[in-house]
Amino acid sequence: MSQLQNCWGVYQDGVTHVLDAVSEMESMAARTLLPDPANEFDRNVPRICGVCGDKATGFHFNAMTCEGCKGFFRRSMKRKAMFTCPFNSDCKITKDNRRHCQACRLKRCVDIGMMKEFILTDEEVQRKREMITKRKEEEALKESMKPKLSEEQQKVIDILLEAHRKTYDPTYSDFTQFRPPVRANSSKRITRSSSVLTHGSSSEDSSDTFSCSPESTEHRMFSNMALNEDSDESPPMDINLSHLSMLPHLADLVSYSIQKVIGFAKMIPGFRDLTAEDQIALLKSSAIEIIMLRSNQSFSLEDMAWSCGGNEFKYQINDVTQAGHSLELLEPLVKFQIGLKKLNLHEEEHVLLMGICILSPDRPGVQDTSLVESLQDRLSEVLQTYILCKHPPPGNRLLYAKMIQKLADLRSLNEEHSKQYRCLSFKPEHSMQLTPLVLEVFGNEIS
């Protein structure tokens, strides 16, 4: 069957319902007009040619006919043929005798409802054929233009996903092994507020909300016990450098995260081909950025906090200020987390972004910049292709550009973090709370 016939068939199917009713009426009319309409258009034998009784192939020019009568009707109409019956103009047309009397055969065609308006002209046929060919070509072109992830690119993604899953535990079960979080007590300070209790009532200014959750009493006792704090504590946002109660816990958390980032980096395709010196240079400068990036997984827009299991491991801005960081870092950091969260990245995009961030050739101390660049380029290409073929609209709009902008944001966050870290680690009483790994990666001002 030709494409045209296919297409025509579809068209006919579409009008079949209407035509069913029409031909039903016509066949009823035919029954009254013709002497022996017996089996014709019987519901039980619907695939019978209404003209000659041969096996019908469907509706043609508005009636159920065989291919022979379809062709006969079309030819007769095109030729504008005038036939005369050599007999009595009442020949009974059958499959075997249908060639004997063209006049009665055509009359029968018209009687059962065949209409010349349904015949396409040669130009129409040609136009239709061209349209179908054109549409097919356009579809083929579209399909060939559509970017596809190569097998190798898909493999890179799979490796990165695996690397991330091996180094990021979404249950945060290891957090209990860190030195415990100690939240300084203040009536103005954000505490380990229960989001369930405070959410909704004060979500607009949660940073200044004191939670009346049951935990706060327990927690006050805990912090009093641990720090023996008095009530004349400085306002929450001032960094009281002698009371960095969250520092031990967060130092352990950061140290743990650095280990995981190293584990992840080592699994990035090509990373281990770099010299040890370059690997270290990349890790040292990107570690804090990757920690900020990966922490987005625990960040929630509902309570603007990093939730890592229970209230104990739920970190608000104020908790980080109690580890020695000021709002100059934390405000843009939270803004960054919100912006990143709103991109709704697929896990594939998230891990690719981390890989691209680590493999930045412009980090200080990198020797073989061209090798790092080529590795980063490869990941960027995978990311762009991934977005093109896997990220549906409208989320994909300018997504790559937005992600690259996030890398720029991370650079300034990194810079601010370094500044604040230097200030903090300059004091021995604080740097002694840090871990050897943190000191090695972020620098040790004392030694």
Residues forming contacts to Zn ion in the complex (CB under 5 A) are 49, 51-52, 54, 66, 69, 85, 87, 91, 101, 104
How many CB atoms lie under 10 A from the CB of residue 122? 8
For 272, which DSSP code?
G
Considering beta carbons, is residue 87 or 426 the nearer one to Zn ion?
Answer: 87
Nearer to Zn ion, 101 or 305 (CB): 101
Q: Closest separation between CB of residue 96 and Zn ion, Å? A: 11
Q: Pairing mode, if any, of strands 305-307 and 299-300?
A: antiparallel
> How many Cβ atoms are within 10 Å of 390's Cβ, its own excluded?
14
Residue 77 corresponds to which amino acid?
A: M
Instruction: Determine the Cα–Cα distance for residues 436 and 444; give it in Å rounded to an integer.
Output: 9
Q: How far is the CB of 13 from Zn ion (least distance, A)?
A: 20
Give least dist CB 47 to Zn ion, A. Answer: 12
Residue 270 near residue 375, CB atoms below 8 Å = yes
Q: State the DSSP code for 119.
A: S
Distance CA 380, CA 399 (A): 12
Min dist. Cβ of residue 108 to Zn ion (A): 9
Q: Which is nearer to Zn ion, 86 or 395 (CB)?
A: 86
Please give the biggest Cα pair distance in the chain: 123
CB proximity list for 18: less than 8 A, separation 6 or greater = none
272: Cα separation from own chain's centroid: 30
For Zn ion, which is the closer residue by CB, 52 or 293? 52
β-sheet bridge partners, residue 306: 299, 315
Closer to Zn ion by CB, 69 or 345: give it.
69
| Shortest Å distance, C-beta 102 to Zn ion | 8
Q: What span, in angstroms and rounded, lies between the C-alpha atoms of 362 and 370? A: 10
Alpha-carbon span 374 to 96, nearest angstrom? 78
Residue 38 vs 408, nearer CB to Zn ion: 38
CB nearer to Zn ion: give 54 or 278. Answer: 54
We find the least distance from the C-beta atom of residue 78 to Zn ion, in angstroms, to be: 18
CB of 42 to Zn ion, least distance (A): 16
